[in-house]
Amino acid sequence: MHKKKIYLLTILIVIMSLTLAACGGSSATEAPAVEEPVAEEPAAEEEAMPEGPTELKIAVATLFLEEAWTTGLLQSLERVIEEQPHGLSISYDILDEVTFENVSTVLDQAASTGEYDMIWAHSTFYEAVDPLMEEYPDIAWAVAGAGNEALGDNMWYMEITGYESAYLVGVLGGLLTENNTIGTVAEYPFPVINSLTNAYIEGAKSVNPDVETQFAFIESWFDPPKAIESTAAQIANGADFIYSQPIGPIEACMDASVPCAGNYVDQSDLGPEVVLTSNLILWDSHWHEIIDGWWADSGCSIDGLLQAGIMAKELRGGDPI
């Protein structure tokens, strides 16, 4: 065994010697090569990286400040402001008293002040934004809502839908109803609105095939008295669970002690005794997307950065079932 170890060790030494020779290793009798010292070149001064912006000023233009659609947007913005993305100090103003007739003037006046880095037009306002994008290329423009068109360049377009959770609201209503009749009141037979109503109906039928759903459109984005009246009529007609899409139905449910669900934001404060849940939509990630895009471009001409990869897919809903 001892001789075997010596034999293996001898082979290993021979292999190592051959390997060193093949790699240009020096023999024991050769003097090691002395490398000539290389003069170090003076280090080039590093160019200072430009600092990013530290402040962001936003203007939000919306049709109805009281709408849950708008409330949800602003609640999300407040949360993002607290997070201070990129260390930014973010502030915003609300452009109120906006209508479809005057929105072009309101947006132009806001942009011309040079005060805002970003203007979020929270409705189907793409036609008003279109001529302003080129005139104010340093502003990040955003439109939100069904019916808008993606124009590219420095306009960001997105849509949020809540039909998945509206389906679960329907499941709740289908399980709770004692009359096999539930109801919902909505604004317009608009694609995104129809998607909520259809999902609500299908959710209820998934757990209660015998359930019937009453639905009504108030033909307005904000008309609480009409919404209350429509809801009261459904309750009088046997509906014992209501999905409240606009502002108003919860008040009618309070009066009749009928359980209901809110929409877009947590609306339990409007009727703690009757609001069992709310169909929430959160805009936080969309605020982060557009703020990240603006910050990456340091507030200069957006040049298509915002549109690339972040435009959400537009929902195309059908007519109510």
What the block records as the tokens of 191 is: 């694609």
User: What homologous superfamily does CATH list for 55-160+284-296?
Assistant: Response regulator (3.40.50.2300)
Alpha-carbon distance of 303 to 155, in angstroms, equals 9
Q: Is it the case that residue 230 has pLDDT exceeding 80?
A: yes
Looking at per-residue confidence, does 148 or 23 come out higher?
148
- For residues 50 and 259, the model is more confident at 259
Mean pLDDT of 176-189: 96
Instruction: Say if residues 243 and 170 touch (Cβ distance below 8 Å).
Output: yes
Q: Where are the domains of the chain?
A: 55-160+284-296, 163-280
As a whole number, mean pLDDT of residues 166-175 equals: 97
pLDDT at 148: 83
Name the CATH architecture for the domain at 163-280: 3-Layer(aba) Sandwich (3.40)
Please spell the DSSP secondary structure of 181-208, one letter per residue.
EEEEEES-S-HHHHHHHHHHHHHHHHH-
What confidence tier does 36 reach under pLDDT thresholds 50, 70, 90? low
* Window from 9-13, 117-121, 257-261 with minimum mean pLDDT: 9-13
Angle at 306 between CA 297 and CA 309, to 5 degrees: 125
Q: In the 8-state DSSP scheme, what is residue 128?
A: H
Residue type, 256: A
Topology agreement, domain 55-160+284-296 and domain 163-280:
yes
- pLDDT for 34: 45
Q: What DSSP character marks residue 314?
A: P
Write the pLDDT tens digit of every residue in 265-304. Answer: 999 999 999 999 999 999 999 999 999 989 887 644 344 3
To 10 degrees, what angle do helices 249-256 and 224-236 make? 40
Closest CA to 216 of 205, 204, 225, 229: 229
Statement: the pTM of the whole predicted model exceeds 0.85: no
pLDDT at 35: 54
Could you give the C-alpha distances from 69 to 12, 59, 160, 245, 321, in angstroms and in order?
A: 78, 16, 10, 10, 24
